């Protein structure tokens, strides 16, 4: 059944759909407000189906706007407030979006005629109260449902287009793997990160409460734990990094979260050490490891991690593939290829990159889309194991980062001839980034501060190298490539 209909069926019950900072949004409000906003968007745009940027953090208006876009025939582009203005402007230009729905309290420097601010939204919700959008506008099948912009190696973000069919397929599969009745799902990931699709839509289609944690709570463990204590969270959804951060405190245990019964992980390697500690703190917990890239709609494989898996010599598996997809391993490179209904139709307005990374193939005689993940792995009796990357993409605290994205942005500084960024790894995990730079000319002043300050306007803060060092020449390896290992020795 169409997942939007499923969500709307909870409309009459007056159940709570979303909690953010002690404020509740009910399913009834979610439906009526997204209806009103959708009718306004239809009035504004008529048959123009351009994507709409939904900017902000965890406000109820984010969810209302996502559904309003879907009901008025527009893909939404979620952009988190942590995104610098220059990057937002890049996304605005390359996506061709004609509107930004701004659910945050500030967004200066963008022409006012293309922004709907909170005050505008309040007026619209009143003016269009009780209006219902014509169902014919609603996104369906191969229509693009959302576009998520991820780090791109050229220095500009790339837009992954996910169709309604892709997300429907993800929901239909993942909902069968979890306990889903009357739960409270934790939402930790920003809505601009596709992991949030897992908690948001699984929560909404199961008539549960989505409990949002925000960025200020994450940097303040005592405050976060006060929130946890009163949250009643039953289902944890995060990257392993966020669980590891919480595990640093002894208080993170079943006394703090007595109702927690399942933890869903995705986005980076789930280590045995992390799982072992989670079982110690939450002895009856069910842990599921999901695997997948944004380009294949959140996740395409999953497996429950059982205690006995900790005894095996192998790393933890990342799962069995969902029914409407296939995983294969490329022979010489061991690259993981994904084929099937979850795969995106490609990058927005980038046919060259799309052609390079996506392909067409067949499953049982039916033509399906395929995606080269850039991940290495192997299969044992249908169970997938992940073995790292074949390129310079990394995961830093759960965020996907193309190293070249940072390098290309550093090179925009006129006095910089070249820049190489390397991840600094401690105990098997990337802790931070370091940049080695070569200058064009002598530079008066504090180069490190200048580089960091310059990047702050271009990149999200997690992509800014913590260390910057000037070097004289770039070391090369025998193949004539930059010797990144040698550069690591500089730090």
User: Which spans of this chain sit near ligand AMP (rule: CB under 6 A)?
Assistant: 150, 194, 266-270, 289, 291, 293-294, 318, 373, 375, 386, 389, 395, 400
CB of 50 to ligand AMP, least distance (A): 24
CB of 386 to ligand AMP, least distance (A): 4
CB of 89 to ligand AMP, least distance (A): 22
Q: What SS3 class is residue 352?
A: helix
Nearer to ligand AMP among residue 75 and residue 293 (C-beta): 293
Q: List Cβ neighbours of 47 (8 Å cut-off, separation of 6 or more).
A: 73
Nearer to ligand AMP among residue 138 and residue 397 (C-beta): 397
Nearer to ligand AMP among residue 27 and residue 242 (C-beta): 242
CB of 273 to ligand AMP, least distance (A): 14
Comparing CA positions, the residue from 256, 255, 291, 261 lying closest to residue 181 is: 261
Comparing CA positions, the residue from 455, 443, 392, 398 lying closest to residue 416 is: 443
Helix axes 27-45, 118-127, angle to 10 degrees: 90
Nearer to ligand AMP among residue 128 and residue 193 (C-beta): 193
**Phi, psi for 430 (deg, rounded to 5):** -70, 125
**Alpha helices, DSSP H only, in 334-393?**
351-357
Residue 53, strand partner residues: 77, 100
d(CA 317, CA 309): 9
CB of 194 to ligand AMP, least distance (A): 6
CB of 211 to ligand AMP, least distance (A): 22
Provide the residue count of the chain. Answer: 491
Comparing CA positions, the residue from 350, 297, 337, 298 lying closest to residue 158 is: 350
Nearer to ligand AMP among residue 31 and residue 395 (C-beta): 395
Comparing CA positions, the residue from 273, 228, 293 lying closest to residue 428 is: 273
CA 200 to chain centre: 12
CB of 372 to ligand AMP, least distance (A): 10
Nearer to ligand AMP among residue 29 and residue 268 (C-beta): 268
Note whether 165 and 341 are within 8 A (CB).
yes
Note whether 262 and 178 are within 8 A (CB).
yes
Comparing CA positions, the residue from 108, 106, 79 lying closest to residue 92 is: 79
CB of 460 to ligand AMP, least distance (A): 13
d(CA 407, CA 175): 40
Nearer to ligand AMP among residue 16 and residue 401 (C-beta): 401
Nearer to ligand AMP among residue 20 and residue 386 (C-beta): 386
Nearer to ligand AMP among residue 9 and residue 271 (C-beta): 271
CB of 262 to ligand AMP, least distance (A): 16
Note whether 435 and 448 are within 8 A (CB).
no
């Amino acid at each position: 059944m169409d997942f939007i209909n499923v969500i709307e069926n909870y409309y009459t019950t007056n159940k709570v759909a979303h909690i953010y900072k002690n404020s509740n949004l009910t399913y009834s409000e979610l439906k009526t407000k997204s209806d009103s906003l959708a009718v306004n968007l239809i009035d504004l745009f008529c048959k123009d189906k351009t994507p709409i940027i939904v900017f902000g953090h965890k406000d109820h208006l984010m969810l209302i706007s996502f559904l309003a876009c879907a009901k008025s025939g527009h893909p939404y582009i979620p952009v988190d407030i942590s995104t610098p203005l220059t990057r937002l402007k890049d996304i605005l230009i390359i996506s061709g979006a004609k509107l930004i729905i701004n659910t945050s309290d500030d967004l200066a420097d963008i022409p006012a005629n293309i922004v709907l601010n909170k005050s505008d939204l309040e007026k619209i919700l009143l003016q269009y109260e009780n209006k219902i959008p014509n169902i014919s506008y609603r996104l369906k099948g191969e229509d693009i449902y959302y576009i998520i912009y991820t780090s791109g190696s050229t220095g500009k973000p790339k837009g992954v287009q996910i169709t309604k069919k892709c997300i429907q397929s993800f929901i239909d599969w993942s909902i069968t793997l979890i306990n889903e009745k009357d739960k409270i799902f934790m939402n930790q990931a920003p809505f601009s990160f596709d992991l949030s699709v897992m908690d948001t839509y699984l929560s909404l289609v199961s008539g549960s409460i989505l409990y949002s944690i925000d960025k200020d709570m994450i940097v303040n463990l005592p405050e976060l734990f006060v929130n946890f204590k009163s949250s009643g969270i039953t289902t944890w959804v995060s990257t392993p990094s966020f669980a590891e951060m919480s595990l640093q405190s002894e208080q993170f245990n079943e006394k703090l979260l007595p109702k927690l019964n399942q933890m869903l992980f995705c986005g980076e390697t789930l280590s045995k050490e992390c799982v072992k500690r989670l079982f110690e703190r939450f002895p009856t917990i069910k842990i599921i490891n999901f695997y997948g890239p944004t380009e294949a709609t959140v996740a395409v494989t999953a497996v429950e991690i059982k205690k006995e898996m900790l005894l095996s010599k192998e790393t933890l598996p990342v799962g069995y593939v969902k029914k409407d997809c296939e995983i294969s391993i490329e022979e010489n490179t061991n690259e993981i290829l994904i084929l099937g209904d979850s795969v995106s139709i490609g990058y927005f307005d980038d046919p060259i990159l799309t052609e390079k990374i996506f392909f067409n193939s067949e499953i049982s005689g039916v033509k399906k889309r395929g995606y080269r993940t850039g991940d290495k792995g192997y299969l044992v009796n249908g169970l997938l194991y992940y073995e790292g990357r074949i390129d310079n993409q990394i995961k830093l605290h759960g965020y996907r980062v193309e190293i070249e994205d940072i390098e290309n942005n550093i090179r925009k500084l006129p006095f910089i001839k070249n820049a190489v960024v390397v991840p600094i790894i401690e105990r098997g995990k990337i802790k931070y980034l370091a940049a080695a730079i070569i200058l064009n000319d002598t530079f008066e002043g504090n180069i490190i501060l200048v580089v960091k300050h310059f990047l702050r306007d271009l990149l999200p803060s997690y992509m800014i190298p913590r260390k910057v060092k000037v070097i004289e020449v770039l070391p090369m390896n025998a193949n004539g490539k930059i010797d990144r290992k040698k550069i690591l020795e500089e730090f």
